[in-house]
Amino acid sequence: MNAKTYLLIALSIIAALSCQKEPLVAVDAVCDKVVGNDVIMAETKAAKSTDFFVGESDIASYVYYKQLCNKEKEMQEPEITPLGIDGGVQAYAINYGEGWEIISADKRIRPVLAQASKGSFNLKKTGTSETAFINSVLNSIASLQKEEKDIVTGNETAESHIQFWKLVNCEIDESPRTKAAEPEGYYVLDHVDQGTIIHTHDHMVMTNWIEEYYTAGYDFPLNYWYHPGTGSVAAAQLLAFLYKEKGLSLTTPTSLQGSFMGTIFDWNNIYNDGANALVNYIYQDSNTTYSNQTVWTDRSFLLQTIASFGVNCNVRSNTGAISYFKQTIDNSLGNGEPVLGLIESYIINGSNYNPKQNYFIIDAYKEYQEETIYYYRYVSTNATDRPAYLERVYGSPRYEMYGMRWCSLYCSDDSWYAIDSTLGLYYNLLLDSAVFHNFSN
């Protein structure tokens, strides 16, 4: 695993607003709660009565802030889609034309939940494991939105997140935010100067296998070739990594030796023809089942299959504190080894809930911390004694983001997701989740 450390200075200080490009969202509109045409969706009805809900005006302010942070890059008009469950809104997906972000709809937790500098995001086109992960995040935020007790006071990280939204929204020094509040004038965010320290650890697993590459059987009533599932694909990729990259000595099970399903299996050819035989062997040996267009791979059987290759590992279930769960992931990645992740989701079929186990690999991470100077300009309609300019310095908490091999549909090497334990309620990843880690002979 190669570590790259570099310092990015996002912008130099811009002396005057006249030097800037024409913003996609008007400056006055951002701090006057007037949204640019077609930039933000209609006002949502989800829990906006709470002080911590991120509404349409907050997202408008955030989009404008992003424009100021990316003055050197041409920015298209963003496409914004609310994400939520049970009729609520827990996050927003923002597509920038090239690159995207998922922003939390609760101000108490970190603003950016996921990001990529390339491509676009569409939840309807994500694979099963990625969708399950995102839905678990939305469920966690939904629980947080219902929380009535004070979980902010004394929580420096949560208070820092709230402060970020105040600065983006021009809520400084208790000064009026809108023209209506103070006819004499108001402050607008003029420009920003941002420095970001980033420490990136690239993907360790060099393959990007997905279940759609392989077939496990044919569903005659539905006239449908079904796939071996993410469990078989994720375990196969992990074993290939342990053999080719980690140098573990792996045993080849007897039934896999020679020809298996018409393919000659060879560890030295695992990145080519050998992959198909390995994936399908794991599908069969782990007793993976298919029913009603759902593939089920039980974790205990999968663990036995991995052991049949002479590989031992530990499994940590998310039944205790989320901080320990996350620490297990961090320790493994820090030691140069990926983890095999699992999230159980449920597919609603009429009145029945069909369980589905979704597997993926976590094999990359980056740490970053931002320091931003916000410069505010006072727009005066009458004579006033207010300062013409104000500036505020904000240092973000240190964040981690994780890179995944989702093993279902194509996943970009450039997408990063948050796994956090800031408030306890956040990112419990569902109770039935686990990571396989600490692989050895």
Range of the domain at 302: 211-364+435-440
Tens of pLDDT, residue by residue over 119-170, are 899 888 888 888 888 888 888 888 888 877 777 888 888 889 999 999 999 9
Tens of pLDDT, residue by residue over 329-371, are 899 999 999 999 998 765 544 444 456 788 999 999 999 999 9
Q: Are residues 331 and 384 in the same domain?
A: no
What percent of the chain lies above the pLDDT cut of 70?
76
Is residue 26 very low, low, confident or very high in pLDDT (cuts 50, 70, 90)?
A: very low
Residue 388 within any structural domain of the chain: yes
Q: Are residues 370 and 359 in the same domain?
A: no
pLDDT at 183 (0 to 100): 57
349: which 2 tokens? 């079929």
Q: What is the CA 94 to chain-centroid distance, rounded?
A: 13
Residue 417 within any structural domain of the chain: no
51: which 2 tokens? 């002080």
Instruction: Please list the residues that pair with 395 across neighbouring strands.
Output: 371
Q: Are residues 315 and 390 in the same domain?
A: no
Q: Are residues 23 and 76 in the same domain?
A: yes
Q: Higher pLDDT residue, 386 or 8?
A: 386
pTM: 0.82
pLDDT at 424 (0 to 100): 44
Residue 253 within any structural domain of the chain: yes
> Between the CA of residue 251 and those of 173, 257, 268, 306, 349, what are the distances in Å?
66, 10, 13, 10, 41
Q: Are residues 319 and 359 in the same domain?
A: yes
Q: Are residues 16 and 99 in the same domain?
A: yes
Q: Are residues 354 and 374 in the same domain?
A: no
106: which 2 tokens? 């609760």
Q: Higher pLDDT residue, 11 or 333?
A: 333
pLDDT at 137 (0 to 100): 85
Residue 411 within any structural domain of the chain: no
Q: Are residues 52 and 184 in the same domain?
A: yes
Query: What is the C-alpha separation between 315 and 303, in angstroms, rounded?
Result: 9
Tens of pLDDT, residue by residue over 185-228, are 788 899 999 988 888 899 999 888 988 888 888 888 888 888 99
Q: How many domains does the chain contain in total?
A: 2
Q: Are residues 61 and 173 in the same domain?
A: yes
Residue 161 within any structural domain of the chain: yes
Q: Are residues 371 and 360 in the same domain?
A: no
Q: Are residues 157 and 110 in the same domain?
A: yes
Residue 250 within any structural domain of the chain: yes
Count of residues making up the chain: 441
Residue 330 within any structural domain of the chain: yes
Q: Are residues 387 and 345 in the same domain?
A: no
